[in-house]
Structures are given as structure tokens and as C-alpha cells.
Amino acid sequence: MSDVQSPLLTVVRGEPTAEELAALTVVVASLSQRRPRRRPTPVGAWAERADVLRRPLLTGPGGWRASGRPA
């Protein structure tokens, strides 16, 4: 039973130096090691903590409007 593996990279055109091949191999290997990005979990409007830290209530004319939840 033969244990033949295909090459990681194949040069199609040109003649890269050993240093260029090494740099390309490192880049390709590092990209394959990356984990996919996770999207942040969306927070519903009612679970948002910004409402707990609201401004103090205003008194006087129009104060009742300022006390409501901003749109």
C-alpha cells in the first residue's frame, strides 16, 4: 500500500525562490488554522442595558415626554 500525498502548493508559472515558497507556505498554513468569526448575538430592545442607565427625569413643562422611552 503506497502512502502518496498530493503537494500542498504547486507552482504553475515562474520560478519562485526558496524564501518566497516558505513565505507563501506560512501564509497558507496560517489561513487554514483560523477559526471562523462569530457574529455577535443580537440583543433585543427590551434586554438592552442602556435603559437602566437613563438620564434623570426632568421636571416642568414637557417633562413627561422626556421621561418616556426614546424612539
pLDDT digits 0-9 by tens, 26-51: 888 888 777 777 777 776 766 667 66
**Amino acid type, 45:** A
pTM of the entire structure?
0.39
Return mean pLDDT, the chain: 76
Length, in residues, of the chain:
71
In the numeric block, which cell numbers belong to residue 6?
498530493
Of 34 and 60, more confident: 60
**7 pLDDT tier (thresholds 50, 70, 90):** confident
